[in-house]
Structure 1
Amino acid sequence: MQLVVARIGRAHGIKGEVNVEVRTDEPELRLGPGAVLATDPATAGPLTIETGRVHSGRLLLRFEGVRDRSAAEALRNTLLIAEVDPEQLPEDPEEFYDHQLMDLDVVLADGTEIGRISDISHLPSQDLFIVERPDGSEAMIPFVEEIVTEIDLENQRAVIDPPPGLIDDSQAEIASSRDAEDEN
């Protein structure tokens, strides 16, 4: 199974280093020297990591055969893809790889079906499940423990306890009218 682990950003310096936007919780495992990564677009790779270091809070990588700024700049916006054993699990039992969460059924605690996870968006503040609803619409569910109360891989489901309005606009209207009554 393939997993996007980083996106190459701008070149750094004149010796072929690049900034990378890390997209894995295990950069030391996936982005260490000697790692061979597939690329998207495929014309850029595969790339083998020669060196890596942190500079001003950013990960800098240098790849074998990339020796100058021009060659590094040509890699900008390339996705780095690692081959991952689908049976491999993160060390922390509270963490999950994206491929484990994709296509899980999303249900309320009472079993009411909400939809199916179709994508996961990794934002700076939190991750979001993009849930395809049975009617074809999409809902965005923050992947935080206050809302996603259980991930049950064995039964292929994510149990959620959403606040009013997150899933159903009518819940938001009811909550808003209650708030208005409370103010009076």
Structure 2
Amino acid sequence: MQWFRVGRIVNTHGIKGEMRIQVTTDFPEERFASGEQVYAFVGNEEHRPLTVHSCRPYKKGYLLVVEEVKNLTEAESLKNLELWVPESHLHELEDGEYYQHEIRDCQVYTASGDEIGRITDILQTGANDVWIIRPSSGGKDVLIPYIDDVVRHVDVEQKKVVIDLIEGLIDE
């Protein structure tokens, strides 16, 4: 079974078992909605199912309450654990939307067919995502904004992305 990271418990909050989480999903309101299930990984294989009671924005993260945690001591035992969901829990996306795991490792080409490199990571900047591309020819990574003026075509099945190379995007 394939698992996908959706967050990390970074601290506790208060004495009733609330936990501060750093979210790594594009859909926190859906992923951490009441009744949803996430899994805290304790080791490489052992995981603990957690049922969301409530979740709300707090500063730069969220405050999470799960039904299985009743107090501060129980919440502290989960501190620094990552939260994951199995592939079967992924939500359907609209056309033109992609999960980050689908974009990573895609080969990037210009509209004229020149190979740029491979997407190795994605930065979430707030305004738009920025794809980090490891050039096929070596050298330093290239940053490509995920905006309509640049990204022309994404084929996650073929792991191929076509971009318009606008002036100044890549140092020559």
Q: Same-fold call, TM > 0.5?
A: yes
Deviation at 1:77, TM superposition (A): 3.3
Deviation at 1:136, TM superposition (A): 3.3
The aligned counterpart of 1:123 is 125
2:43 is aligned with what amino acid?
Answer: A
Asked if 1:80 corresponds to 2:86, the answer is no
Aligned runs of 1:10-29 on 2, under 5 Å? 10-29=11-30
Give the gaps of 5 or more residues in structure 2.
Answer: none
Partners of 1:126 and 1:109 in 2: CA distance: 21
The aligned counterpart of 1:47 is 49
Aligned runs of 1:151-162 on 2, under 5 Å? 151-162=154-165
Q: Is contact 2:34–2:55 with CA below 8 Å preserved after alignment?
A: no
Bigger fraction of residues in helix: 1
Deviation at 1:158, TM superposition (A): 0.9
Give the gaps of 5 or more residues in structure 1.
Answer: 171-184
Report which of the two structures shows the higher radius of gyration computed on alpha carbons. Answer: 1
Q: Which residue, 136, 143, 146 being the options, matches 2:146? A: 143
TM-score with structure 1 length normalisation? 0.75
2:14 is aligned with what amino acid?
Answer: G
Deviation at 1:135, TM superposition (A): 2.8
1:61 is aligned with what amino acid?
Answer: L
TM-score with structure 2 length normalisation? 0.79
Deviation at 1:72, TM superposition (A): 2.0
Equivalent residues, number: 168
Q: Is contact 1:119–1:131 with CA below 8 Å preserved after alignment?
A: yes
The aligned counterpart of 1:38 is 39
The aligned counterpart of 1:8 is 9
Q: Matched residues, percent identical?
A: 32
Deviations 1:61-82 (A, max 9, x none): 2234322224324433322111
Task: Provide the secondary structure at the position in 2 that maps to 1:162.
Answer: coil
1:3 is aligned with what amino acid?
Answer: F
1:14 is aligned with what amino acid?
Answer: I
